[in-house]
Amino acid sequence: MSYPLAGIKVLDMSRVLAGPFAGRMLCDLGADVVKLEPPEGDVTRFFGRKVGNISGYYHQQNAGKRNISVNLNDPAGVEIVKSLVSEADVLIENFRPDVMGRLGLSYETLAEINPRLIMLSISGFGANNPDSRRAAYAPIVHAETGLVARQAEITGAHPAELPLSVADTNAAMHGLIGMLAALYAREQTGLGDYLEIAMVDATLVTNDGLHAALENVKVVDSNEVHETRAGYLMLAGDFKFIWKQLHDLCGVQDGLQGLESVSIEDKIKARRAAAKLFFMETCRTREEVIAALDKMNIAWGDVRSTADVGDLACVQARDSIAQIDDRSGGTRSIPQSPYRFRRNQSNVRQGAPHLGEHNDEILEQWLGWTSTDIEKVASALVTGSNK
């Protein structure tokens, strides 16, 4: 088996999550991904537990990459980037829209150096509009696109941030799709392309319920958590369907038989009480609860802690959590690549790099530079730092 992106060179200039996640997936698929960081390092080098002087957050998003640390405020640093671009297939960046141009690294400039370059730019609100210069992290986009308000509406709780950065990862995945499409198109035309992804756009298009808001239709959330003898379970389906199955297949009664006048509210209240009684009293064990749900053909899921996800049978069977060298004499857990091929390979190949760890190696291998060549740009390189 071979890696489908073997031989593809990626210069990853991105920070935090949206860009780095895209680069990590490319790396798992076999690309040679070089992460270029400033002397102070990606801020996520300080997020989470450090093992082997690598933080947990940085470890997850940058595993498998090599690293070069370049000071872009030094003219020699900009020239290093241009030299690397001459050999790169893909460049990823997620600065604010005008930053690359101010650095002298706009797509127009880089495409003159390498017409085959595919450049992926990810920003919060996109370029050339009134919101372009706004700082944008995932929570901001979650709030602006209605996700936070929708969650509060469903739960009845005070508006709060989501438990994962979907705006970042959705932007990364849509960036990957577009970038891979551009790589395919390049095979036909010989030319690269510039791909701009806004986190707002990616969040809107992957919100499967957006149609209702656009058409002013009220949507009632149909998936609820129920207390049962099996613990808290998420049941998929509108309660009206669940009640019909409980009544028709399990013989559950709502206690309203013979009453002539019952309001809709009282009927729902009685049926919810009857459902809870069935799951808590009639079913005395977890096995009985699951058997009843399976009989009713209702999808269910344990409401488990993220820390317990490794207990999930499919996660264990699929080795979804990999163990890799922690650079400190042991191993470290990391989510495995999600891509499972029949004829190709994809997997996390090694841990995340230290800052500037591969400076000389990258310049020698990508550019063929000698030690004398590297010495000429030494002022722009940072070495020996494991932030």
Domain ranges of the chain: 9-210+322-380, 224-306
DSSP H helices in the chain? 18-28, 56-62, 75-85, 99-102, 107-113, 138-144, 147-155, 166-189, 199-205, 210-214, 239-250, 264-277, 286-295, 313-317, 359-367, 371-376
What pTM was computed for the model? Answer: 0.90
What pLDDT was estimated at residue 261? Answer: 81
From first to last of its 387 residues, the chain has per-residue pLDDT tens of 899 999 999 999 999 999 999 999 999 999 999 999 999 999 999 999 999 999 999 999 999 999 999 999 999 999 999 999 999 999 999 999 999 999 999 999 999 999 999 999 999 999 999 999 998 899 999 999 999 999 898 888 999 999 999 999 999 999 999 999 999 999 999 999 999 999 999 999 999 888 988 988 887 667 899 999 999 999 998 899 999 999 999 999 998 887 778 888 899 999 999 999 999 999 999 999 999 999 999 999 999 999 999 999 999 999 999 999 998 999 999 999 999 999 999 999 999 999 999 999 999 999 999 999 999 999 999 875 544
Of 224, 225, 228, nearest to 279 (Cα)?
228
> Where does residue 176 fall: left (phi above 0), alpha (psi -120 to 50 degrees), or beta otherwise?
alpha
The identity of residue 114, as a single letter, is N
DSSP H helices in 134-263? 138-144, 147-155, 166-189, 199-205, 210-214, 239-250
The span from the CA of 55 to the CA of 53, in Å, is 7
Q: Side-chain half-sphere of 286: how many Cα atoms within 13 Å?
A: 7
For 118, the token pair is 């595919």
Please list the active-site residues: 168
Q: What are phi and psi of 290, to 5 degrees?
A: -65, -40
For 188, the token pair is 């036909």
What pLDDT was estimated at residue 384? Answer: 59
Q: Is the dihedral of CA 171, 172, 173, 179 positive or negative?
A: positive
Fold of the domain spanning 9-210+322-380: Rossmann fold (3.40.50)
For 190, the token pair is 């010989």
Name the percent of the chain in helix, strand, coil, to the closest 5. Answer: 45, 15, 40
* Contact of 355 with 45, CB cutoff 8 Å: yes
Of 112, 296, 109, 127, nearest to 195 (Cα)?
127
CA distances in angstroms from 62 to 126, 130, 216, listed in the order given: 24, 32, 41
What pLDDT was estimated at residue 387? Answer: 47
The span from the CA of 356 to the CA of 365, in Å, is 15
